[in-house]
């Protein structure tokens, strides 16, 4: 749903649990609370200690699973995945967890993030006779593990992790272990919880609340955690690690009730709105947010600015994937879709419209026009993050500069394009302040690459090409 409104999509959410009698069902609920991270596919793999068994499918968690299917997944341990994936990225076989069987044991993998040297590695592996079944970068890891000369599974795994670069929050299931790994820069969130005696792991803490688990701790960058019947064992697989959490997780991706590194996302967003109000110093009659992700920031803005918060925009809750789009002609006649303005609220008013980010600018432009047509006297757009100028290579789907309006337009030009009476972006410093970070630069604890261009890792030119991605769609 977020994906529909923004041109900004993350690639996934992962959840796993070890040693719980309702492993498949708990994983189902866990994936549910991560549904906002991916609506294109979902899968669960369980183990009963003897074998691995999985079900996966395209669509929402509820499209893929039902009572009967969950009951056909016996076992006390499970991992699951929800997936975002554009058209060109193949179908069912790319839905995770990926599951590999062999005579020496089975292996399931689920990953959030993006391996930036996957293509290089894949090329080398194919030269040696490996056959790939998916276009997923995650499959590279499976081949690296299988081909590794090390003796123990853990050493094979560490060997493989030492070869891949990029952003990954990875969970891996065998008949006897649940393994968890986070990339050395900690670009993606990943947290450990506990429900009774069972450890679980999730991309976001909101899953713990839903299933009644308590939060234990976040996974550290460069950490490899092994959970089995003897408990949890953690170690490092790399010496050099830093902390560079994706800032957009706070601004846009994560659910308001999740905590990332101890900070509640709703609270962080409200703070972003408060700092924004302080920086913007705009006069207006009403503050309104763009549902759903900008509501917290808008409320914070309204509180600090002392301007009433009103529901100036309504999101139609029932627009699903099958919704019939109005033709151009009908659109020109005024047929609206996901969002409707509330005329009585905005008519004759100076409206401060708070949104979390501008990617291509098209949605923002449409909303501003909508508000004006509904009678708003002025529309002041306030964005609770800085201009997004650089593509992300770590799993967020804004792959080219060309798509980012702020990478080739000044703020004044953007304001003109979207037709606003004023446009204010939050400053990078203000953003860091709002989420409680003090410093700036390499050690601020955040990845700011999309705003500042400072990437926390080396950059490879060859992430999987769209052309090739398409090839495998069987």
Binding of residue 55 to its own copies (CB under 8 A): yes
Residue 47 has φ and ψ, to the nearest 5°, of -135, 140
Query: Judged by CB under 8 A, which stretch of 59-67, 381-389, 400-408, 448-456 contacts its own copies?
Result: 59-67
Based on the number of CB atoms within 10 Å of its own CB, is 303 exposed (0-12), middle (13-18) or buried (19 or more)? middle
Closer to its own copies by CB, 22 or 421: give it: 22
- The one-character DSSP state at 338 is S
Q: Are strands 446-447 and 245-246 parallel, antiparallel or unpaired?
A: parallel
- Is residue 447 annotated as involved in ligand binding? yes
Binding of residue 152 to its own copies (CB under 8 A): no
- Contact with its own copies (CB under 8 A): which of 61, 182, 352, 379? 61
- Is residue 364 annotated as involved in ligand binding? no
Query: Judged by CB under 8 A, which stretch of 35-43, 162-170, 244-252, 411-419 contacts its own copies?
Result: 35-43
- Contact with its own copies (CB under 8 A): which of 49, 87, 229, 343? 343
Q: Which of residues 100-119 bind its own copies (CB under 8 A)?
A: 100-104, 106
Binding of residue 197 to its own copies (CB under 8 A): no
Q: How far is CA 472 from CA 136, 296, 298, 468, in A?
A: 10, 41, 43, 7
What is the sign of the dihedral through the CA atoms of 235, 79, 3 and 120? positive
Q: Are strands 223-228 and 231-236 parallel, antiparallel or unpaired?
A: antiparallel
Instruction: Answer yes or no: are the C-beta atoms of 7 and 363 closer than 8 Å.
Output: yes
Report the distance separating Cα 275 and Cα 430, nearest Å.
6
Report the distance separating Cα 208 and Cα 213, nearest Å.
5
Least CB distance from residue 28 to its own copies, whole Å? Answer: 7
Q: How far is CA 417 from CA 88, 149, 228, 240, 448, in A?
A: 30, 57, 56, 44, 25
Q: How far is CA 67 from CA 64, 78, 99, 442, in A?
A: 11, 16, 22, 48
Instruction: Answer yes or no: are the C-beta atoms of 426 and 384 closer than 8 Å.
Output: yes
- The one-character DSSP state at 463 is S
Binding of residue 174 to its own copies (CB under 8 A): no
- Is residue 450 annotated as involved in ligand binding? yes
Least CB distance from residue 209 to its own copies, whole Å? Answer: 5
Site map (CB under 8 A) of its own copies, residues 212-251, x = contact: xx--------------------------------------
Binding of residue 35 to its own copies (CB under 8 A): yes
Instruction: Pull the structure tokens for residue 195.
Output: 């429900």
Binding of residue 309 to its own copies (CB under 8 A): yes
Least CB distance from residue 415 to its own copies, whole Å? Answer: 26
- Whether 12 sits among the annotated catalytic residues: the reply is yes
Binding of residue 25 to its own copies (CB under 8 A): yes
- Contact with its own copies (CB under 8 A): which of 179, 181, 351, 374? 374
Q: Which of residues 406-445 bind its own copies (CB under 8 A)?
A: none
- Contact with its own copies (CB under 8 A): which of 80, 113, 221, 341? 341
Closer to its own copies by CB, 165 or 266: give it: 266
User: Between helices 362-373 and 411-418, what is the axis angle to 10°?
Assistant: 50
Least CB distance from residue 167 to its own copies, whole Å? Answer: 24
- Contact with its own copies (CB under 8 A): which of 344, 362, 408, 439? 344
Q: DSSP labels for 157-212? A: HHHHHHH--EEEEEEEE-SS-EEEEE-TT--S--EEEEETTEEEEESSTHHHHHHT
Least CB distance from residue 195 to its own copies, whole Å? Answer: 7
Q: Which of residues 455-474 bind its own copies (CB under 8 A)?
A: 468, 471-474
Which candidate in 12, 200, 364, 444 is catalytic?
12
How many CB atoms are closer than 10 A to CB 330? 10
Residue list, annotated binding site: 246, 293, 355-356, 392, 447, 450
Active-site residues, by number, are 12
Residue list, annotated binding site for [4Fe-4S] cluster: 246, 392, 447, 450
Residue list, annotated binding site for Mg(2+): 293, 355-356
């Amino acid at each position: 749903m977020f994906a529909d409104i923004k041109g900004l999509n993350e690639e996934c959410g992962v959840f796993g649990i070890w040693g719980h009698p309702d492993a498949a069902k708990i994983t189902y609920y866990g994936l549910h609370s991560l549904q906002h991270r991916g609506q294109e596919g979902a899968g669960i793999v369980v183990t009963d200690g003897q074998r691995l068994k999985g079900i996966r499918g395209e669509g929402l968690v509820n499209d893929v699973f039902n009572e009967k299917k969950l009951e056909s997944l016996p076992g006390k341990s499970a991992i699951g995945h929800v997936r975002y994936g554009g058209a060109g990225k193949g179908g069912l076989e790319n839905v995770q967890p990926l599951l590999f069987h062999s005579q020496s044991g089975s292996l399931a993998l689920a990953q959030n993030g993006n391996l930036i040297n996957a293509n290089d590695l894949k090329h080398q592996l194919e030269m040696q006779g490996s056959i790939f079944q998916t276009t997923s970068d995650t499959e590279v890891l499976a081949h690296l593990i299988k081909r590794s000369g090390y003796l123990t599974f853990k050493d094979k795994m560490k060997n493989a992790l030492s070869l891949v670069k990029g952003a990954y929050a990875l969970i891996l299931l065998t008949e006897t272990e649940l393994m968890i790994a986070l990339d050395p820069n900690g670009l993606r969130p990943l947290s450990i919880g506990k429900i009774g005696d069972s450890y679980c792991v999730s991309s976001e803490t909101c899953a713990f609340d839903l299933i009644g688990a308590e939060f234990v701790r976040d996974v550290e960058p460069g950490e490899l955690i092994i959970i089995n019947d003897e408990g949890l064992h953690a170690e490092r697989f790399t010496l050099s690690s830093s902390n560079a959490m994706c800032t957009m997780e706070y601004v846009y991706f994560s659910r308001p009730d999740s905590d990332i590194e101890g900070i509640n996302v709703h609270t962080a967003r409200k703070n972003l709105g408060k700092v924004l109000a302080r920086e913007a110093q705009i006069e207006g009659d009403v503050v309104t947010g763009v549902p759903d992700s900008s509501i917290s920031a808008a409320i914070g803005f309204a509180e600090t600015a002392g301007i009433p918060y009103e529901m100036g925009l309504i999101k139609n809750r029932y627009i699903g994937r099958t919704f019939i789009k109005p033709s151009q002609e009908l659109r020109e006649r005024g047929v609206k879709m996901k969002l409707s303005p509330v005329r009585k609220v905005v008519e004759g008013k100076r409206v401060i419209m708070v949104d979390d980010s501008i990617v291509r600018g098209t949605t923002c432009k449409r909303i501003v026009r909508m508000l004006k047509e509904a009678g708003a006297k002025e529309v002041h757009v306030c964005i609770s993050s800085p201009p997004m100028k650089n593509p992300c290579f770590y799993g967020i789907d804004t792959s080219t500069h060309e798509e980012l309006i702020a990478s080739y337009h000044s703020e004044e030009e953007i304001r003109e394009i979207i037709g606003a009476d004023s446009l204010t972006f939050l400053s990078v410093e203000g953003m860091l302040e709002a989420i409680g970070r003090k410093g700036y630069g390499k050690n601020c604890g955040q990845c700011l690459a999309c705003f500042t261009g400072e990437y926390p890792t080396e950059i490879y030119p060859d992430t999987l090409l769209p052309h090739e991605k398409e090839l495998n769609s069987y």
